[in-house]
Amino acid sequence: MPTLQFRLNGAVIAVDADPDQMLLDVLRTRLGITGAHFGCGAGECGACHVMVDGRAIASCDMPMWSVADKDVVTVEGLGTVEQPHPLQRAFIAEQAMQCGYCVSGILISAAALLKRNPSPTEGEVRAALDRNLCRCGSHNRMVRAVLRAASEMAAS
Amino acid sequence: MSFPAPKLPVSLVANPRLSSWVKFTGDGRVAISPGKVEIGQGIVTALAQIAADELDVDISKVEMMRASTAASPNEGVTSGSLSIQQSGRALRHVCAEVRQRFLLAASERLGVDEALLDVDDGTISGPGNVRTSYWELAGDVSLDHDATPGATAKLATRRAVAGHSVRRVDIPDKVFAQPRFIHDRALPGLLHGRVLRPDISGARLIALDETAARAIPGLVAIVRDDGFAGVVAESEAATEAALKVLRKGATWSAGEPLPDEDDLAGFLKSQPVETTVIDTRTAASPKQAVRTLRRQYIRPYIAHASIAPSCAMAQWDGDRVHVWTHSQGVYLLRADLAIVLKLPAENIVVEHMEGAGCYGHNAADDVALDAVLLAKAAGGRPVRVQWSRHDEMSHAPFGAAMAIEIEADLDADHEIVGWRHAIWSNGHAARPGRAAQPALLAATEIANSYPRMISTNPPAANGGGGDRNSVPLYDLPAWTITSHRLLTMPVRTSALRTLGGQGNVFAIESLLDEIAALRGEDPVAFRLRHLRDERARDVIRAAARRAQWKPQKQAGIGHGVGFARYKNTGAYCAAIAEIEGADDIRVKRLTLAVDVGEAINPDGVVNQIEGGAIQATSWVLKERVRFDRSRITSTSWTDYPILTFSEVPAVDVEIIQRPEIEPVGAGEAAHGPVTGAIANAVFDCLGVRVRDLPITRDRIIAAMELAS
């Protein structure tokens, strides 16, 4: 199997992988990165979103060959308990979830949004999260959390 | 005058042993073991609050144990908005009694009268600075006693934790991607499994060519037990590859025809049924009806559509099996597994791990049996099975479709003098663990299979099923409520949030609105005039005030109101919807008021009401399970769309706090009222009554054609 090199959460890694294997599968079953969740396997729900070169992408639908030399960030790469990303702090502050299964994908979509648009309007936040499904109905809390994180980032 | 003897809460009657609920652990913490499970509703936090309050320990010292048949009290199933009522009351009682026992022991040790002792974060102190703690006394105080009636919990005014919006204990893990979901747990030596299921509804596997699948690298076993077939492999990718080729080698029976999805009422009303008269009321002095309105309302099949596909793990050790599951009822699942496996229940341990929100009986239990059956071929290694999105959307039980017919007799002033409400629906519950036959999918596939369990309805005393919320809370002079439960079940149904409540409240609230409009009476005033219960009146008035009812009429905008008390015994909720009606209906704002009695965690209640309101909006505007005559066709998010971020309305919730009244759950209170409010707002906006859910553009056009 060919060796594929890419950057994962800031570190360059090289894995032997079938080029047609999906990134999500490699993250979860080979690399122990379980933040990105399987939801549908068809790129329709956003539970598996990761950032690839700054854009939120469905990793369940992304073959390994297309990841070569790219910069991949999962929710594990956003922040830690000790050094949380402002979005992670804001999701806790707003209690922005019920079951939370969709949350890691939503954090990634939101982080990608704030990279390209640091002060989005509410409508822009909603549009950026439209490819992420939430079944519990925690949408408005999540939108508030993203806006809170944006203003916190602007202030710092 | 005599007072009734104090009674134990229901969960304590079943599990009286104090030590099964509470343990003080060596590390200075207290372990609390409820029988209810976290399904995203925040119950674990609310129960921790109750325990922290009654014991007077900081909530950070409370460790909430996951339910397991190995150790936890048996509290049946986590459903029906009953966890606060059942587990909460039990824990409040247990913790109050445990505290009392420790105070007694402390009093003896310290030589201080019990009444002079105080507890602060687990430290018990008294006059003269004498002190001890729960942990110091733990060796002397046995909790292997049964709870006794009459233990006194704190007064509502003295509670410091319950009644406050404490942050949920599980949220940090979920934000920082700490493995908490069953999907994220990797047991040592874990194998993966997948089960082959038919596309054609009701088809049975009759032949299987395994040759091609055997050649897949990483394959461990192909498991075949008559109509049940699955694969076990070293990796998920290998299971998928093996399943794909196995499918090509499968021969299926013809299956069973499905109803016409565009004539659900025709189907539901033509099946053999069991008929139950739910309630009748006869007027003391019957009034003459001058006209009768006869209306039919349809609620389609609705999918639970959890964001996570159902998942379970199982591991055999000889004739004993350990199961990890996100089932809502570990003991109930174990009971069904025992039937299928023909093993004593003691040989089976069922342990809960969190899954995604399930909203009722989805495939969580089914996939557990799948894992157990596949793990038999794994040589003692654990096997993890995860359903596909396709299977989740087609083989899991659905919320039952309903046809509801109401006849309202009106007098000359359009006042209601008679009311007949009839429901045609499959049963709304076919959960495991409650019958002599198992309710699990694979049990219908294996050799000596069990028939598919036809859904039944919980008794009216438990809130009923298809008939849930069908008895009006309104003070009407006479009524007859009848439930027709189908005895056939071509589309598999079981418990979905609110059971029949959403459909019945939709019907009642729609027709009341229509009658108020006939009278030219404000719909809020009309409802208040027909309600005596002050808590009911209060939520309606609060929602109306908050929404500034009724806003000035504007073109293209509509407002509607809906109300219910969930199960007629639970939470009161009123909703006011503001919608925009152009080509499609867009719900702009929902304003709700809710009364759950004592709100243990007010923000948790608001979260549940917001979530329920948004999910109900999704059901009302978008959702119906699709099928042709042979198969379920809504098997992806494209074919079964749900509300997206841009479509979600603003939701504003007011809680009416009543700390002196026993708490009830909030998870299902909003669905019915929101459904009614949206439907009534559509009429306010467009002048047409849509009685066939979901309210889509096509349904509005059809209703307009019918009206003209």
| Bridge partners, B485 (sequence order) | B274, B425
Task: Give the nearest chain A residue to B38 (CA atoms).
Answer: A99
Question: Does the model's ipTM exceed the 0.85 cut?
Answer: yes
Cβ contacts of A39 within 8 Å, gap of 6 or more: A45, A46, A47, A48, A60, A101, A102, A105, A133, B307, B308, B309, B389
Judge whether residue B1 has pLDDT over 70. no
- Asked if the Cβ–Cβ distance from A101 to B179 is below 8 Å, we say no
Q: How many CB atoms lie within 10 A of CB A123?
A: 11
- Asked if the Cβ–Cβ distance from B637 to A74 is below 8 Å, we say no
Of the candidates A39, A74, A80, the beta carbon closest to that of B308 is on: A39
Distance from CA of B307 to the nearest CA of A (A): 6
Judge whether residue B591 has pLDDT over 60. yes
* Contact residues, chain B, for A101 at CB < 8 Å: 40, 181, 183, 306-308, 355-357
DSSP state of B498: T
pLDDT digits (tens, 9 = 90+) for B168-194: 999 999 999 999 999 999 899 999 999
Nearest C-alpha neighbor of B418 from the set B563, B277, B283, B276: B283
Q: Is B119:B103 a contact under the CB 8 Å cutoff?
A: yes
Rounded to 5 degrees, what are φ and ψ at B270? -110, 5
Q: How far apart, in whole angstroms, are the C-alpha atoms of residue B558 and residue B578? A: 6
Q: Does domain B185-254+305-394 match CATH 3.30.360.10?
A: no
Judge whether residue B425 has pLDDT over 70. yes
* Contact residues, chain B, for A100 at CB < 8 Å: 40, 170-171, 174-175, 180
Run of H or E residues at B33: none
Q: Is A35:A74 a contact under the CB 8 Å cutoff?
A: yes
The alpha-carbon radius of gyration of chain B (Å, integer) is 27
Show the CA angle centred on residue A84, arms to residues B306 and A31, nearest 5°: 60
Distance from CA of A148 to the nearest CA of B (A): 16
Q: Is B389:B636 a contact under the CB 8 Å cutoff?
A: yes
Distances (CA, A) of B357 to A133, A136, B267, B310: 13, 7, 31, 10
* Contact residues, chain B, for A39 at CB < 8 Å: 307-309, 389
Judge whether residue B15 has pLDDT over 60. yes
Q: Count the alpha carbons within 13 Å of B323 in the hemisphere toward its beta carbon.
A: 37
Q: What is the CATH number of domain A86-155?
A: 1.10.150.120
- Residue boundaries of the structural domains of chain B: 10-175, 185-254+305-394, 402-428+464-707
Judge whether residue B262 has pLDDT over 50. yes
pLDDT digits (tens, 9 = 90+) for A50-68: 999 999 999 999 999 999 9
Q: Is B316:B383 a contact under the CB 8 Å cutoff?
A: no
Q: How far apart, in whole angstroms, are the C-alpha atoms of residue B352 and residue B37? A: 7
Cβ-Cβ pairs closer than 8 A, A with B, add up to 157
Query: Which residues in B598-619 are b (16+ Cβ under 10 Å) and which e?
Result: bbbbbbbbbbbbbbbbbbbbbb
Quick one: pLDDT at residue B51?
Answer: 96
Quick one: pLDDT at residue B151?
Answer: 86
First to last CA, chain B: 65
DSSP state of B645: G
> From the candidates A136, A141, A142, A148, which should be mutated to test the interface with B, based on the most B CB atoms within 10 A?
A136
Judge whether residue A150 has pLDDT over 90. yes
Q: Is A90:A149 a contact under the CB 8 Å cutoff?
A: yes
Amino acid code (one letter) for B192: H
Q: What is the CATH number of domain B402-428+464-707?
A: 3.30.365.10
Residue B489, token pair as written in the block? 């079940």
- Asked if the Cβ–Cβ distance from A74 to B177 is below 8 Å, we say yes
Task: Give the nearest chain B residue to A139 (CA atoms).
Answer: B645
- Asked if the Cβ–Cβ distance from B610 to A140 is below 8 Å, we say yes
Show the CA angle centred on residue B685, arms to residues B680 and B691, nearest 5°: 40
- Collapsed DSSP state (helix, strand, coil) of residue A146: helix
Show the CA angle centred on residue A100, arms to residues A99 and A106, nearest 5°: 145
Helices A139-155 and A86-93, axial angle in degrees (round to 10): 130
Full strand arrangement of the beta sheet holding B650-655: B557-565, B572-581, B585-595, B650-655
Q: In chain B, what percentage of residues exceed pLDDT 90? A: 94
Nearest C-alpha neighbor of A135 from the set B151, B184, B360: B360
- Collapsed DSSP state (helix, strand, coil) of residue B520: coil
Strands B572-581 and B311-317: unpaired
> From the candidates A61, A88, A95, A131, which should be mutated to test the interface with B, based on the most B CB atoms within 10 A?
A95
Quick one: pLDDT at residue B5?
Answer: 65
Distance from CA of A86 to the nearest CA of B (A): 11
Q: Is A112:A127 a contact under the CB 8 Å cutoff?
A: no
Run of H or E residues at B13: helix B10-14
- Asked if the Cβ–Cβ distance from B237 to A104 is below 8 Å, we say no
Q: How far apart, in whole angstroms, are the C-alpha atoms of residue B448 and residue B450? A: 7
- Asked if the Cβ–Cβ distance from B183 to A137 is below 8 Å, we say no
- Collapsed DSSP state (helix, strand, coil) of residue A106: helix
* Contact residues, chain A, for B305 at CB < 8 Å: 135
Run of H or E residues at B466: none
Distance from CA of B184 to the nearest CA of A (A): 6
Distance from CA of A131 to the nearest CA of B (A): 8
pLDDT digits (tens, 9 = 90+) for B121-149: 999 999 999 999 999 999 999 999 999 99
* Contact residues, chain B, for A95 at CB < 8 Å: 167-168, 171, 603, 607
Global pTM reads 0.97
- Asked if the Cβ–Cβ distance from B637 to A44 is below 8 Å, we say yes
Burial, B67: exposed, middle or buried (Cβ in 10 Å; 0-12, 13-18, 19+)?
buried
Distance from CA of A70 to the nearest CA of B (A): 22
Quick one: pLDDT at residue B582?
Answer: 82
- Asked if the Cβ–Cβ distance from A140 to B386 is below 8 Å, we say no
Task: Give the nearest chain B residue to A81 (CA atoms).
Answer: B176
* Contact residues, chain A, for B652 at CB < 8 Å: none
Task: Give the nearest chain A residue to B303 (CA atoms).
Answer: A135
Q: Is A89:A145 a contact under the CB 8 Å cutoff?
A: no
Q: Count the alpha carbons within 13 Å of B276 in the hemisphere toward its beta carbon.
A: 19
Distance from CA of A98 to the nearest CA of B (A): 5
Q: How many CB atoms lie within 10 A of CB A20?
A: 9
For residues B411-429, average pLDDT: 97
Judge whether residue B4 has pLDDT over 80. no
Of the candidates B183, B307, B612, the beta carbon closest to that of A133 is on: B307
Of the candidates B40, B618, B650, the beta carbon closest to that of A100 is on: B40
- Asked if the Cβ–Cβ distance from B645 to A126 is below 8 Å, we say yes
Q: How far apart, in whole angstroms, are the C-alpha atoms of residue B197 and residue B209? A: 15
Amino acid code (one letter) for B236: E
Q: Count the alpha carbons within 13 Å of B280 in the hemisphere toward its beta carbon.
A: 5
Rounded to 5 degrees, what are φ and ψ at B161? -115, -55
Distance from CA of A18 to the nearest CA of B (A): 11
Task: Give the nearest chain A residue to B308 (CA atoms).
Answer: A39
Percentages of chain B per state (helix, strand, coil), in multiples of 5: 30, 25, 45
Domain ranges in chain A with CATH number 1.10.150.120: 86-155
Q: Is A73:A9 a contact under the CB 8 Å cutoff?
A: yes
Mean per-residue pLDDT over chain B, rounded: 96
- Asked if the Cβ–Cβ distance from B235 to A29 is below 8 Å, we say yes
> From the candidates A1, A73, A99, which should be mutated to test the interface with B, based on the most B CB atoms within 10 A?
A99
Q: What is the CATH number of domain B10-175?
A: 3.30.365.10
Q: How far apart, in whole angstroms, are the C-alpha atoms of residue A70 and residue A72? A: 6
Q: How far apart, in whole angstroms, are the C-alpha atoms of residue B604 and residue B673? A: 19
Of the candidates A100, A129, A138, the beta carbon closest to that of B611 is on: A138
Distance from CA of B397 to the nearest CA of A (A): 17
Nearest C-alpha neighbor of B305 from the set B396, B412, B243, B235: B396
Question: What's the CATH superfamily of A3-77?
Answer: Beta-grasp domain (3.10.20.30)
For residues B494-510, average pLDDT: 98
Task: Give the nearest chain A residue to B638 (CA atoms).
Answer: A44
Q: How far apart, in whole angstroms, are the C-alpha atoms of residue B267 and residue B101? A: 61
Amino acid code (one letter) for B602: P
- Asked if the Cβ–Cβ distance from B637 to A45 is below 8 Å, we say yes
Of the candidates B637, B638, B646, the beta carbon closest to that of A126 is on: B646
Mean per-residue pLDDT over chain A, rounded: 97
Residue A71, token pair as written in the block? 């910069």
For residues B404-428, average pLDDT: 98
Distances (CA, A) of B336 to A119, B11, B129, B359: 54, 21, 56, 21
Task: Give the nearest chain A residue to B326 (CA atoms).
Answer: A99
> From the candidates B181, B239, B307, which should be mutated to test the interface with A, based on the most A CB atoms within 10 A?
B307
Q: What is the DSSP string of B93-131?
A: HHHHHHHHHHHHHHHHHHT--GGG-EEETTEEEEGGGEE
For residues B88-100, average pLDDT: 96
Q: How many CB atoms lie within 10 A of CB B272?
A: 9
Judge whether residue B3 has pLDDT over 60. no
- Asked if the Cβ–Cβ distance from B171 to A91 is below 8 Å, we say yes
* Contact residues, chain A, for B40 at CB < 8 Å: 97-101, 136
Name which residue leads in pLDDT, B430 or B550: B430
For residues B146-157, average pLDDT: 90
Q: How confident is the model at residue B7 (pLDDT cuts 50, 70, 90)?
A: confident
Distance from CA of A69 to the nearest CA of B (A): 23
For residues A1-17, average pLDDT: 93
- Alpha-carbon torsion A5, A8, A12, A13, what sign? negative
Distance from CA of A39 to the nearest CA of B (A): 5
- Alpha-carbon torsion A77, A81, A84, A88, what sign? positive
Amino acid code (one letter) for B440: L
3-state secondary structure B544-613: HHHCCCCCCCCCCEEEEEEEEEHHHCCCEEEEEEEEEECCCEEEEEEEEEEECCCCCCHHHHHHHHHHHH
